[in-house]
């Protein structure tokens, strides 16, 4: 999927309601549906990030 202007905001974890407000979406649920690919990437990265923060291995 092509990267869209809001995707870079989603990847570092900017809350959906903030992205929605910046892009004029009426409801954060719209933003989450449109940028679901970014959320899925975050879900895939979450265990590695969590392990690194607590000093464990993924």
Q: What pLDDT digit, counting tens, does each position of 36-49 carry?
A: 777 677 777 778 87
Count how many domains the chain has. 1
For 16-34, what is the mean pLDDT?
85
Average pLDDT in the chain? 75
Q: Residue 32's domain spans which residues? A: 7-54
Does 2 fall in a domain?
Answer: no
Inside any domain, residue 1? no
Contact 19, 10 (CB under 8 A): yes
How many Cβ atoms are within 10 Å of 34's Cβ, its own excluded?
17
- pTM flag (> 0.85): no
């Amino acid at each position: 999927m092509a990267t869209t202007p809001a995707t870079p905001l989603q990847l570092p974890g900017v809350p959906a309601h903030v992205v929605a407000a910046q892009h004029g979406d009426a409801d954060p649920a719209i933003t989450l549906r449109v940028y679901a690919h970014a959320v899925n990437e975050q879900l895939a990265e979450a265990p590695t990030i969590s392990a690194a923060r607590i000093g464990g291995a993924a």
